[in-house]
Amino acid sequence: MSSPSRLALAVSGLFILPSALAAPPAQKVKPPVSQAYIDLATFSGGMPMPPGAAGMMGSLLGARNNENSFGMTQSQSPGRWMDVTLLTRNNGKLRTATQSVPAGARMGPVLNLLAPEQGPVEPIPDDTPQPAKFEMPKGKMYLYWGCGAEVRKGQPLVIDLAKMDASQFGKFFQNRSATTRVPGPAPGRPAWPNKTDARRLPDGASLVGEHAFAGDGVVDGFRFSVDARHDLMPAVEASRGEAGGGVLFRWKPMQQASAWFVQAMGMRDTSKGGEMEMVYWSSSELPDMGMGLVNYQPNGSIAKWQKEKVLLPASATECVAPKEAVSAMSMSRVIAYGEELNMAYPPRPQDPKVAWEPQWDVKLRLKSVASLMPGMDGAMQAAMAGQDGEPEQRQAPGSVAGAAKEAAKESVTRGVVDSVVRGLFGR
């Protein structure tokens, strides 16, 4: 081959090579025709709290009279709870549907899902009042983190609410969270529980076994099985007590737990100074208030945060906090994360050239959270969690009042944080 020919071939290769090494085309993925979302939550200790995002105070809904209502998986109210939502792209006006459940659920053979009706939309009046003028609250907030009785170098982070600016806010209010917001009840999206079926899960209920969804427009063959690892989680059996120079959090091992996290917050006694002082601590090795972590988290995020030591490993059974960070009046929470279950049919093709057109998919999330209220010893906390305890311990005088007082403190804290956000960012 002549030199010019070889040169021409080499030059043409410069244009052919990038095309040959280019990444393969992305696999075409269509949204599932029918989808189901199941949230499972177990709460122990503390006191009944209303449904709402991350335990925020709101309307009491079904928290009274031993009733059930959608959203109790976010309520922190003691008990075991389940929320189910179903949608299908074949019928945007789906009103009712059924979920077949195994005999172990003790609620079968089916749950009746119901979509809410579309209510009238009220017009916004022309004379809508303007938001009140914002005033930054007075007080300080302190943030500690990490397991260990000694306060670490560089801690705590301290912020003066009256002098805080946006840059300080971002440094102090670190709250990791990858919690996704799954669809809730809406016209065309039937859910359980609902106004026609507000039953609570029976004692000893288990979801292990085959489940199936059916309804007008729901694809045929929407069937799947739940194994023991993804069943309702048991209550976290945790305690808090003094240990040397620190505060010891201890809990029993749980087979379903994929990771653990502990978070505490409380007010310091500032009756003489008159200004509020809030103190936060979490078991994370990196600064984090923990407000976003005490909730469902996807499997990938749990694995990532375990490597970063933000979350404690599944084998952990205790964590010590500095006494400066967790006072006797601090409210604390211990969460055991369950493994999220994601299933779809047909399974995703391994060949990226083959389009994936799933007929159905289901997402199941689970968690178990214990709230340790101030002024309660291990026996009282166990009694409130439904564990063994003496009758006189279950009816210890002052326990309800103390719990209510601390719940009010949490409400105030969240109100302060919300006020700070609106003051700094106008929202």
Looking at residue 199, its pLDDT comes to 93
Q: Mean pLDDT, the chain, as a whole number?
A: 80
Q: Answer yes or no: is pLDDT of 393 > 50.
A: no
Give mean pLDDT, residues 284-311. 96
**Residue 12 domain-assigned?**
no
The confidence score (pLDDT) of residue 405 equals 40
What are the pLDDT digits (tens) for 87-107? 999 999 999 999 999 999 999
Report yes or no: 178 and 298 within 8 Å, Cβ to Cβ. yes
Instruction: Tell the residue number behind the tokens 């379903």, with chain if given.
Output: 256
Closest-CA residue to 146 (of 336, 243, 342, 280): 280
Q: How far apart are CA 88 and CA 33, in angstroms?
A: 6
Spatial distance between the Cα atoms of 184 and 235, rounded to a whole number of angstroms: 25
Domain assignment present for 22: no
Q: Work out the pLDDT band at 263, boundaries 50, 70, 90.
A: very high
Domain count, the chain: 1
Q: How far is CA 23 from the centre of its chain?
A: 37
**Sign of torsion, CA 67 71 75 76?**
positive
Strand (E) or helix (H) holding 282: strand 276-282
Structure tokens given for 132: 């009140």
**337-364: pLDDT as tens digits:** 999 999 999 999 999 999 999 999 999 9
pLDDT confidence bin for 406, thresholds 50/70/90? very low
Looking at residue 51, its pLDDT comes to 42
Strand order through the sheet with 238-243: 238-243, 246-251, 318-322
Burial class (CB in 10 A: 0-12, 13-18, 19+), 70: buried
Q: Which residues contact 359 (CB under 8 A, 6 or more apart)?
A: 32, 33, 34, 219, 221, 222, 345, 346
- 50 assigned to some structural domain: yes
Give yes or no for residue 377 having a pLDDT over 70: no
Query: What's the rounded Cα separation, in Å, for the pair 61 and 50?
Result: 7
First to last CA, the chain: 73
Q: Contact at 8 Å (CB) between 192 and 84?
A: yes
Residue 127 belongs to some domain of the structure: no
Lowest-pLDDT range, 19-33, 156-170, 228-242, 378-392?
378-392
Residue 343 lies in a domain: yes
Give the structural domain span for 148: 34-117+135-425
Peptide bond between residue 50 and the one before it cis (omega within 30 degrees of 0): no
* Share above pLDDT 90 across residues of the chain, in percent, rounded to a whole number: 60
Task: Give the integer Cα–Cα distance in Å for 150 and 13.
Answer: 65
Q: What value does the CA radius of gyration of the chain take, rounded to a whole number of Å?
A: 26
The model's pTM: 0.79
Q: Among 161-170, 310-319, 411-420, where is mean pLDDT lowest?
A: 411-420
Average pLDDT over residues 105-129: 76
β 276-282/139-145 pair status: parallel
Distance separating alpha carbons of residues 392 and 372, to the nearest angstrom: 19
Alpha helices in 83-183 (DSSP H): 166-172
Cα–Cα dist 101/372, whole Å: 33
Residue 250 lies in a domain: yes
- Domain assignment present for residue 219? The answer is yes
Residue 16 located in a structural domain: no
Give CA–CA dist 124/156, Å, rounded. 46
Report phi then psi at 250, rounded to 5.
-140, 145
CB 332 within 8 A of CB 264: yes
Helix then strand then coil, in percent of the chain rounded to 5, is 20, 30, 50
Q: Which residue has the tokens 């933000």?
A: 310
pLDDT band of 162, cuts 50, 70, 90: confident
CA–CA distance, 255 with 228 (Å, rounded to integer): 10
Instruction: Report the relative pairing of strands 312-313 and 360-372 from DSSP bridges.
Output: unpaired
Per-residue burial over 98-120, b if 16 or more Cβ lie within 10 Å, else e, is bbbbbeebebeeebebbbbeeee
Which of 45-49, 52-56, 67-71 is the most confident on average? 67-71
Give SS3 for 149.
coil
